[in-house]
Amino acid sequence: MIIISSAFSILLCSVFSTTLLQLIPLNLGILPLFIGMLYGGYKSGLPLAGLYLICDFYFNEKWSFSGLFLHTGLLFYPLLVWMSPSFRKGTLTDKVNKLWVCLLPAMLLVTASPIIEDPALSLSNAGPLLLLMFYIMVSVFVGGALIYVIEFALEKLLLKEQIKGISEKYLREEEKLQQVMDVAPLCMVSVDTDGNVTSINEMMMNLFKTRMPELNKNDILGRPLGSFVDITEKDYISYRISQALKGVKMNNELIRIGSQIHYTSTSPLTNTFTGEILGAVLVIQDITELERLRSELGNVERLSLVGQMAASITHEIRNPMAVVRGFLQLMKEKSPESLDHYYRIVMEELDRANGIINDFLSLAQNRISEKEQWHLHQIINDLSPLLWADANLRGQTIELVLDENVPKLNLNAKEVKQMLLNLARNGMEAMEEKGKLSIQTRLKKKEQIVELIIRDTGVGMSKSRQERLFEPFFTTKAKGTGLGLALCLSIVERHGGKIMVESEEGQGTTFVIQLPLVES
Ligand code: ADP
Ligand code: MG
């Protein structure tokens, strides 16, 4: 910019240059040239110098070779270029001084050039001498003034750039802050000292919109917060906002709005340096779900305590029952054969009670099961004679489809046996004669799991029954305990797996157990 205007000024000055007293070339183009060289360094300074020399050649009527050195200031160009870097870093006075250091001798040389060229010439009278002095003074003064003006303009330009940068940054920061507020899972709104809304986030908007669906952000900004909250909470919130504006911070207070429970915090917004209060912020967090979970957790804890008590009681019941059964056995042998029938019923019932207790205890004992590397197929093959015997009695068949790729897994064999037995029994109990129970294994390499599938062609279940299936004591059978599937679920979970059920009424039921290849 400076360089272009320097070049332009050089041209103008040269066009209007004249010769003072017919002797001294009068060309103020030297000023923009020097300034341009100081600001521009050699890169832009040399072209300017070239331009000046050419202009001098064209416009100076008294051009001469010696004049080229004397009245163009040519001798000072190297000095100017050399000073340029330090010039640019210097303060205003430094700059003016540097310009003068070059300009003053250069002007003296220019004015003295006719005398140097022609020593015979002498300026004896005072008039022209004064004029010359005046010319030098003016050019030196104008040079200083120009530097001053340029610096002033540059500073203004810099300031403008800085302000533009800062305001852009401010806008970006504001946008970022709004986005951060919008993604936070909290309702936030801030107000100024008069209680008018200054900013609001998405969650808070949604909270307002539940009551006033047409509301949009611009309707709220700049308006009093009190006019948007419900009458019932108005006092509560207004009081807290007014307290915050007085500098009182209120944290983590519970407020119940309808069925919802909210945590609220109000704090003043202050100027960090002066401590002056600029507004207040209200933060609301919906903790209904959290509260529900918390109370449920309390229930679970109570239940687990009841479960533990029940487990220790049932454990104690087993001992007297064993004694009773032993004596019954003895009495049966000593009693007449006609009573055998009764003894059998009593003992069967005792066995059933014992079975229930055993199931219940294995369900309640939530201990970490000890596992070993077992082949699932070995467990199935161990069980299959028992299952076949059961199936034969019912006139049903069993089909085994075992995938040879299934590797050994980390299993507790006793638990898996119990699970398989429970599921197979349930399947058989759900089927009539001629039903077919199929037990299948499958390796799913991609998912890194092994699937154990137990399918029956029995009565199936409705959706509502499927939902309650794994609840302890849920049973539809007259002699059922309702503990079988609950036990299966806890066994599968202990193995880090999943159990799923698919069932259609009248068609049959499929249980799928997924066991991980590597337990995480
Ligand atoms: P129980 O067998 O003692 O009743 P379970 O927990 O094993 O207890 O099963 C709970 C209930 O789930 C059963 O009473 C039955 O109604 C239903 N059920 C379980 N397995 C099947 C199945 N394969 N087909 C149909 N219903 C089933
Ligand atoms: Mg069962």
Please name which of 304, 280, 295 lies closest in space to residue 195, comparing C-alpha atoms: 280
Share of the chain above pLDDT 90, in %: 32
Residue of 7, 15, 75 lying closest to 47 (CA atoms)? 7
Three-class SS state of 78: helix
Same structural domain, 90 and 15:
yes
d(C-alpha 317, C-alpha 311), whole Å: 10
> Is pLDDT at 260 greater than 70 in this prediction?
yes
Q: Is the pLDDT of residue 457 over 80?
A: yes
> The domain spanning residue 509 has which CATH number?
3.30.565.10
Is 82 found in the same domain as 25?
A: yes
Segment 27-79, tens digit of pLDDT: 777 788 888 888 888 888 888 888 888 887 777 766 777 777 777 777 788 88
End-to-end CA distance of the chain: 69
Q: Indicate whether 12 and 154 sit together in one domain.
A: yes
Report the C-alpha gap between 422 and 256 in whole angstroms. Answer: 48
Is the same domain home to 376 and 360?
A: no
Ligand nearest the Cα atom of residue 506: 1
Domain co-membership, 197 together with 103 = no
Nearest-angstrom CA–CA distance, 248 and 244:
5
Mean of pLDDT values over 278-305: 85
What is the count of structural domains for the chain?
Answer: 4
Residue 41: give its domain's CATH number: 1.10.1760
Of 364, 384, 403, the residue at which a domain comes to its end is 364
pLDDT at 57 (0 to 100): 79
Residue 461 — pLDDT band, cuts 50, 70, 90? Answer: very high
Q: What is the pLDDT of residue 455?
A: 96
319 and 453 together in one domain: no
Ligand 1 atom nearest to CA at 454: 23
Beta-strand ranges (E) seen in 30-171 are none
Domain that holds residue 483: 372-516
Which residue's CA lies nearest to atom 14 of ligand 1? 475
Same domain, 125 and 13: yes
Same domain, 383 and 470: yes
**20 and 132 together in one domain:** yes
Domain CATH number, residue 358: 1.10.287
- Tell me how far the alpha carbon of residue 462 lies from the centroid of ligand 2, in angstroms: 17
Gap between the Cα atoms of 427 and 460, Å rounded = 9
Mean of pLDDT over the chain: 85
Q: What is the mean pLDDT of residues 458-468?
A: 92
Instruction: List the one residue out of 9, 73, 83 whose CA is nearest residue 39.
Output: 83
Same domain membership, residue 39 and residue 118: yes
Q: What is the mean pLDDT of residues 305-314?
A: 81
User: Does 294 have pLDDT greater than 80?
Assistant: yes
- Please tell me whether residues 220 and 348 are part of one structural domain: no
Among the bound ligands, name the one nearest to the CA of residue 472.
1
Residue 156 pLDDT: 94
- Mutation choice for ligand 1 from 356, 422, 426, 507, CB with most ligand atoms inside 8 A: 426
Does the residue 410 lie in any domain? yes
pLDDT of residue 367: 62
- pLDDT for residue 124: 59
212 inside domain: yes
Q: Report yes or no on 177 lying in a domain.
A: no
pLDDT of residue 23: 61
23-27, 329-333, 434-438, range with the lowest pLDDT: 23-27
Q: What percent of the chain has pLDDT over 70?
A: 93
Q: Give the per-residue pLDDT at 324.
A: 92
Q: Is 170 a domain residue?
A: no
| Residue 468 forms part of a structural domain | yes
CA distance 327 to 324: 5
Distance 496 CA to ligand 1 centre (A): 23
Question: Which pLDDT belongs to residue 122?
Answer: 60
pLDDT of residue 511: 97
Please indicate, yes or no, if residue 172 is contained in any of the structural domains: no
Asked if pLDDT for residue 193 goes beyond 80, the answer is yes
Which ligand number lies closest to the CA of residue 355? 1
- Boundary residue ending a domain (251, 286, 321): 286
In Å, what is the CA distance from 471 to each residue of 197, 358, 482, 498?
Answer: 52, 17, 8, 16
pLDDT range class, residue 125, cuts 50, 70, 90 = low
Q: Pocket residues for ligand 1 (CB within 6 Å)?
A: 422, 426-427, 430, 456, 458-459, 461, 469, 474-477, 480-486, 509
Q: 237 CA distance to ligand 2 centroid (A)?
A: 57
- Residue 49: is it exposed, middle or buried by C-beta count within 10 angstroms (0-12/13-18/19+)? buried
User: Ligand 1 test: best mutation among 453, 485, 487, 502, most atoms within 8 Å of CB?
Assistant: 485
261 and 310 co-located in one domain: no
Highest mean pLDDT among 58-72, 118-132, 490-504 belongs to 490-504
Q: Of 232, 253, 286, at which residue does a domain stop? A: 286
Does 165 fall in a domain? no
Note whether residue 505 is domain-resident: yes
| Residue 189 belongs to domain with CATH number | 3.30.450.20
